[in-house]
Structure 1
């Protein structure tokens, strides 16, 4: 029990430090937008549809993964409820 408390406290401290300390980051989407705008102003006819499709693809993957986990979790919960109702009905 003491080991669980220490692990939980350590996880809390790490999460607190990560949320409080500022980290330098680079906004890649902003950089992509600036690059596309600069390239589209040139006369070479830069096509941005490929980049836009790539951004949409990368944006949808987390939603699909979370939705799949939610679906399987819901289905498992419903199956457990049916099993519980079936065993309670026999008694």
Structure 2
């Protein structure tokens, strides 16, 4: 019960004391704003593609790890089932 209270309190504190963070350094932001204002959107587009690339990589890693975990779990379940049918 204490653990649940800690999680709820942490969630409330994180919600109340929300800090705004800028996603880019000042130089990157300035360069992108000036290029977009000048009509060139390729730099901003390329930066967005790079961000998406970095964003997807951990999900692919977790999917691969989850697949191997599932496969190992399934094999162990089949072995346990075979052993229980032999012994008993």
The alignment's TM-score, normalised by the length of structure 1, stands at 0.59
2:69 to 69, 73, 77: 73
Structure 2 unmatched runs, 5+? none
In structure 2, do the counterparts of structure 1 residues 41 and 73 end up closer, same or farther at CA, with 3 Å as the change threshold?
Answer: same
Give 1:36's aligned residue.
32
The alignment status of 1:87 with 2:83, answered yes or no, reads: yes
Aligned counterparts of 2:63 and 2:35: Cα–Cα separation in 1: 36
Q: Which has the higher contact order (CA 8 A, sep 6+)?
A: 2
Quickly say closer, same or farther: Cα 1:34–1:86, change in 2 above 3 A. Answer: farther
| CA deviation after TM superposition for structure 1 residue 16, in Å | 3.4
What secondary structure sits across from 1:28 in the alignment?
coil
Which residues of structure 1 form unaligned runs of 5+? none
Q: TM-score, normalised by structure 2?
A: 0.60
Tell me the matched-pair count: 84
Superposed CA RMSD: 3.5
Measured after TM superposition, the shift of residue 50 of structure 1 is: 3.7
Tell me which residue corresponds to 2:50. 54
Partner SS, residue 25 of structure 1: coil
| C-alpha distance in structure 1 between counterparts of 2:68 and 2:10, whole Å | 28
